[in-house]
Amino acid sequence: MSPVFLNLLLAFSLALLGTLLFRSHLMSTLLCLEGMMLSLFLMSSLISLNSQFSLAFIIPITILVFAACEAAVGLALLVMVSNSYGTDYVQNLNLLQC
């Protein structure tokens, strides 16, 4: 495996670890998820460049579309939670309330 691919795999692993460790704040969790999506996009771009399969170039664009949708939904959720509760602590959220 190339060193670039190993660095991207390390970036994905660190973002996953950050998601697991910093899950008390919604903002830090969303930033770690964006890091994971960015590393997935770069890994799929590298794989599609090394591949001879012509339809492999669609995969990075699809991942980028899903990352943009995830960022928009995450930002809307963060704004809604911070306006409702005044903070982005995940522990303060009660999903049983309407």
Domains along the chain? 3-85 (1.10.287.3510)
Tokens of 45: 């771009």
3 Cα distance to chain centroid? 22
Distances (CA, A) of 56 to 28, 87, 98: 32, 42, 44
Model pTM score: 0.83
Asked if pLDDT for residue 95 goes beyond 70, the answer is no
Give tens-digit pLDDT for 34-87.
Answer: 999 999 999 999 989 888 888 888 999 999 999 999 999 999 999 998 898 888
Within a 10 A sphere around the Cβ of 89, how many other Cβ atoms?
Answer: 12
